[in-house]
Structure 1
Amino acid sequence: MTEQDSASRPVTPPSWRVFHATGQAPAGDLPGLPSPPPWRVFSGSPLQQAPPDDAQSALRRLGIVQEGPQLRGEEIDTVNAALLLRRPLLITGPPGVGKSTLAYLVARELGLGRVLPWSIVSRTTLRGGLYEYDAIGRAQAIAAWRAGGNAGADTPGSAPALGDFLTLGPLGTALLAYARPRVLLVDELDKSDIDLPNDLLHVLENGSYEIPELVRAGAADVSVFTDDPHSRAVIESGRVECAEFPVVVITSNGEREFPAAFRRRCLPLEMRPPSREQLVSIVVSHLHQRPEGIEALVDDFVRRLDGGGTQSVDQLLNAVQLTTAHGLRADSDGRKLIEMLLRDLSKGR
């Protein structure tokens, strides 16, 4: 083949997808992530230890994932766009369609360690997501230390350390400097106080925050607790900045609109109820087998969804579990119980 022939051949570009929604943990080396856009480069330090894994939580959420993609093609593309652009995902859809499960799917497939869940309620504040400082506990510890005869002692470092009373929240932990991004799940943001989405803007845009208590102390390096069990991190000069922007999955049940300034910083993803094939795959994943007779229950569940009902996949799993593992007959005396399990959640009872 001549050089001219070689140059004229079309070059197939590599796939831009780094996430394929298989839910399969990497068997060897961790999947590589593309470089971020120039405007989403961060330079936080010091690099923290790799996060712990939480296989048990992932197993509860995902089960043993079957072969094939767990999401629709357009959903996979949106997730990949968020990964490439280093932008949060704002996921909407009815309850029970797998919005929060997506965070665990990404973490398992890309080998990003434990998901950092931040469940939102009306009392949730930005500071609570970033860190908690136990000022009363520290004051009591200092008082006890002084009562032990140390008030005038020249023993640097023997007083209760400030970092022992400071714990980073899920958001604060996600923004630590890691070599690979953490996965942060901000669950049901629409239940928050009206100001929280606006309060998040600065942090999500800049990938950093300060802890005033550490800044005032003037300490160069302080070891604090993190949201990961039994883990600590070193913070320099009271400021935290990520090295890799975290994978932020924000879920909403659509109970209210978010400000335009917040929405433009996120990539929207509206999740639809799973297809019949996906429902069967979900059941097999969680029950670790394909029970006989599940087709009738799946078809019943799909008919309820198509009829405009509000149902959760959890309801289907409960019904299948009772009718397969515990011998309940769905077509006789157990029909009333199955009706209760698969009830329309929008009706309040």
Structure 2
Amino acid sequence: MSAQEQTALNGWHVFHGTGREPAVPPRLPAPPPWRRFRGGPAQPPPPDDPDGALRRLGPGEVTPRLSADETDTVNAALLLRRPLLITGPPGVGKSTLAYVISRELGLGRVLEWNIVSRTTLRDGLYEHDAMGRAQAIAAWQAGLRSSAPARIEETPEGATSGADDKTAVTLQARQLPPPLGDFIALGPLGTALLPYDRPRVLLVDELDKSDIDLPNDLLHVLENGSYDVPELVRDAAEEARVHTSDPGGQAVVRGGRVECREFPVVVITSNGERQFPAAFRRRCLPLEMRTPTREQLLALVEGHLGARPRGTEDLVDLFVQRVQSGGTHSLDQLLNAVQMTTAGGFQADGDGRKLVEMLLRDLAKGR
């Protein structure tokens, strides 16, 4: 069924799982009244990341792997401005869905927050380089002590000349301490909550690996779409220009508070290694992803490699057989095996067969 036919049947859908880059980004549905935010000042549109999308999705069209019910869930999350909690075995493409959504809706670069056992909420919000700022202030103070006072000549009318005006401005700037914002860097979550006119896509990868408190710590931020940077709240300046998670990106923060204008598209992945608190699950829409079918795997290989090399069907059948036998396997393993067997001069029989077996090994066995 084409995207146009799907739109006719489901007029409220803006996402169809095609992953095609739109000529004109579609207009997102209005949020419900309880999910509207008024953050400012508005930030410029985020940069694109075509290379990152290419690595995740391949050069061809994306293979649809979502059923009608699952597509409904994604669109419901977009409409309600609620996070998606995606579960499923490792390697089935849970994190890839964030890139499909971003490219299909024209939402720019995906912000990735990779979770480990030591990750805290502040790691995702912002980082303050207190040591770097202390060193910069010490260097600034030393520069003030070593510089001699400047003498500015006055004109007969009592006004400084143009050259002296520039000298005065330079000296005044030199006398100011290093701005605090130079030492604040927003994390992926903190950047996603900046006041953009269109939502950012935030991938929170493998939340089940986090400390037990992190899901509960996320509740307030996900509910209110805002957070404070205490260092900036205490600072005398009304606004600060800080660094963001985008390469070379900066943003203006007023009063030390960040509030979104459009709640980000939050994609949270979990391998099912733990159960999340009920209060956290209540704020998310659940989506379980399953291993793609044989036809979807063949199309996935063709989409990534731009062709279906000879012998692909045999490798896909072997991969499906191993998955069905209860092993833990990743789609990356299949792509690696197909790429290897199509390399010039490689023979998949004999010793080459051992390499294919290694590439498609059961990841649950630890080797």
TM-score range, shorter chain: over 0.9
Indicate yes or no: 2:317 matched with 1:322: no
How is 1:225-236 mapped onto 2 (pairs within 5 angstroms)?
Answer: 225-236=243-254
Match of 1:22 among 14, 18, 24: 18
Task: Provide the alpha-carbon RMSD of the alignment.
Answer: 1.7
Sequence identity, in percent? 70
Indicate yes or no: 2:107 matched with 1:112: yes
Q: Distance in 1 between matches of 2:360 and 2:142?
A: 62
| Corresponding residue of 1:3 | none
Q: Distance in 2 between matches of 1:78 and 1:189?
A: 20
Match of 1:57 among 42, 52, 55: 52
Indicate yes or no: 2:89 matched with 1:94: yes
Match of 1:285 among 303, 318, 322: 303
Contact 1:66 1:281 in 2 (8 A): no
Change (3 A) 1:183 1:145: same
| Corresponding residue of 2:5 | none
The letter for the 2-side match of 1:272 is R
| Corresponding residue of 2:266 | 248
Change (3 A) 1:41 1:199: same
Q: Distance in 2 between matches of 1:173 and 1:121?
A: 19
| Corresponding residue of 1:6 | none
Match of 2:353 among 316, 335, 340: 335
Q: Distance in 2 between matches of 1:144 and 1:202?
A: 39
Tell me the CA shift for residue 218 of structure 1: 3.3
Deviation per CA, 1:21-79, whole angstroms, max 9, x where unpaired?
1011012x211100001111111111001000000000000002327634332221211
Q: Distance in 2 between matches of 1:51 and 1:230?
A: 11
Residue range with higher mean Cα deviation, 96-105 or 331-340: 331-340
Change (3 A) 1:14 1:266: closer
**Stretches of structure 2 lacking an aligned partner (at least 5 in a row):** 1-7, 150-170
Per the alignment, in what secondary structure is the counterpart of residue 320 of structure 2? helix
Tell me the CA shift for residue 95 of structure 1: 0.5
Q: Distance in 2 between matches of 1:115 and 1:13?
A: 29
How is 1:68-147 mapped onto 2 (pairs within 5 angstroms)?
Answer: 69-147=64-142
Tell me the CA shift for residue 159 of structure 1: 1.4
How is 1:114-263 mapped onto 2 (pairs within 5 angstroms)?
Answer: 114-149=109-144, 155=172, 158-263=176-281
| Corresponding residue of 1:348 | 366
Residue range with higher mean Cα deviation, 143-152 or 233-242: 143-152
Q: Distance in 2 between matches of 1:68 and 1:232?
A: 35
Q: Distance in 2 between matches of 1:220 and 1:319?
A: 56
Per the alignment, in what secondary structure is the counterpart of residue 334 of structure 1? helix
Per the alignment, in what secondary structure is the counterpart of residue 42 of structure 1? coil
The letter for the 2-side match of 1:228 is D
| Corresponding residue of 2:157 | none
Tell me the CA shift for residue 219 of structure 1: 2.0
Per the alignment, in what secondary structure is the counterpart of residue 155 of structure 1? helix
| Equivalent pairs, count | 337
Per the alignment, in what secondary structure is the counterpart of residue 143 of structure 1? helix
Change (3 A) 1:108 1:335: same
Tell me the CA shift for residue 281 of structure 1: 1.4
Q: Distance in 2 between matches of 1:131 and 1:241?
A: 14
Contact 2:206 2:269 in 1 (8 A): yes
Indicate yes or no: 2:290 matched with 1:272: yes
Per the alignment, in what secondary structure is the counterpart of residue 219 of structure 1? coil
Per the alignment, in what secondary structure is the counterpart of residue 234 of structure 2? helix
Tell me the CA shift for residue 257 of structure 1: 0.6
The letter for the 2-side match of 1:23 is G
The TM-score normalised by the length of structure 2 is: 0.88
